[in-house]
Structure 1
């Protein structure tokens, strides 16, 4: 199923652009991205998903944790540099995370390791965060064993299953326009 994640993500980017035009991200001149399209204006920069010449991987993360990382994680985070994408999934408003540049991708990997170490400490199953929720105590995660997309309460574990796999989650998510 991970081979369907990248096309589903590309279709989601295209869907957003058809609905709302060029997406915007907070501009930080010290953190440029190949995804940036237009000069920054009022603290925002327009972006377009940038296909990485070489996909990023999570082998180093798996090695650090002595764990085989579900391949959907690399499919989601390793193919593009892009801004985060606001989505609605069955009434749940979330922000799909994406690495902005190589340094951000490395921070994402470090944060995934930290998340996994906390999961282990709390004796919770291995999951990887993929999106944030408006309620900061909840996360959308990827189950490392099954590849299912879950809703979790931070530090408490799974609330429920959102989708049987990441491709399905991305295909069913609806872009949400920028807020004024």
Structure 2
């Protein structure tokens, strides 16, 4: 794992498979890809809680195990505890959100409004995979908010969407 991380650990993903094992403990995994696009597992742990303090300990332990090498980018969930721990433990590492996790969280957030979710997923997918510039992204984001929140000011749209937009900055 250390050898793979030295070679391929520039961009990693930290994912927690939520409570799917028999003791209902989330399984956290640090993974990446090698030059053949094969998955490399750099580390794994069973989480006993999902607090910022625990994630700080985990990121510190992983960093020490990997000979103090830090990735340049980490893809992780938007759970508030993870970004806080990353800011404290790995301040220079860029925290990005996984598109699949964004779509799943959007589905949960808008589960009562199925029509909104269907249209929103199309807009978000467009933003993720088609938009090429920051200006184009800002325009498409405003258009999306205007469609779903026509009576609100751009800044007053859905709090979850505003929180999501905050990760971009």
**What TM-score range do you get, normalising by the shorter chain?**
under 0.3
Which structure shows the bigger proportion of residues in helix conformation?
Answer: 2
The structure with higher relative contact order (CA 8 Å, sep 6+) is 1
The TM-score normalised by the length of structure 2 is 0.25
Which structure shows the bigger proportion of residues in strand conformation?
Answer: 1
The TM-score normalised by the length of structure 1 is 0.24
